[in-house]
Amino acid sequence: MLDRDLAALYDVETKQLKRQVNRNINRFPGDFMFKLNLKEQDSLRSQSGTLKRGEHSKFLSMAFTEQGVAMLSSVLNSKKAIDVNIRIIRIFTKMRELLSTNKDVLLKLIRLEGKINNHDQEIQLIFEALKQLLNPKQPPRKRIGFKLKTEN
């Protein structure tokens, strides 16, 4: 989650959230929080549409992982921060459960797709055999009946 989104949830200014993180930077290792690079920051700005005065920071945004969000509650240390943090952690937990469930389904689909792909040629051969059974080739028939001999 981005710093500005978390600041809105915690009902604090983004600069206050960043200030608290920077004061306690040892609590936020790279797997808890990282700063976006210029390319990522520009990509976010282009997705946001037009820039409004004071709405976009000239500083790089911070992105927080689930653990970083959990650590924010101890840094911000307010009732609102704790309440919001509990809700966010529950959402992350639910997302992890959904991803895990979907991962199992995806793996099963991949295995099934592999089986189906191997059977495509075999199924095609079965259809060809069925067509031949339904429309068997007839040997040429001898004409029966009276034949006139033509005189030359």
In this predicted structure, what is the pLDDT of residue 56? 55
In this predicted structure, what is the pLDDT of residue 47? 60
Cβ atoms of 69 and 5 within 8 Å: the answer is no
Contacts of 33 (CB under 8 A, 6+ apart): 21, 62, 63, 64, 65, 68, 71
Per-residue pLDDT for 99 more than 60? yes
Share of the chain above pLDDT 90, in %: 13
In this predicted structure, what is the pLDDT of residue 53? 45
Q: Band of the pLDDT at 54, cuts 50, 70, 90?
A: very low
The C-alpha atoms of residue 82 and residue 78 are separated, in whole angstroms, by 6
SS3 state at 33: strand
Per-residue pLDDT for 115 more than 60? yes
Cβ atoms of 55 and 45 within 8 Å: the answer is no
Mean pLDDT calculated for residue range 98-115? 77
Share of the chain above pLDDT 70, in %: 85
- Output the pTM of the full model: 0.54
Per-residue pLDDT for 48 more than 60? no
The C-alpha atoms of residue 72 and residue 32 are separated, in whole angstroms, by 10
Cβ atoms of 61 and 2 within 8 Å: the answer is yes
Q: How many CB atoms are located within 10 Å of the residue 84 CB?
A: 20
Mean pLDDT calculated for residue range 17-42? 90
Q: Band of the pLDDT at 19, cuts 50, 70, 90?
A: very high
Cβ atoms of 18 and 59 within 8 Å: the answer is yes
Mean pLDDT calculated for residue range 108-133? 74
Q: Which of 10, 4, 1 lies closest to 84, judged by CA?
A: 10
Q: Band of the pLDDT at 55, cuts 50, 70, 90?
A: low
The C-alpha atoms of residue 94 and residue 78 are separated, in whole angstroms, by 24
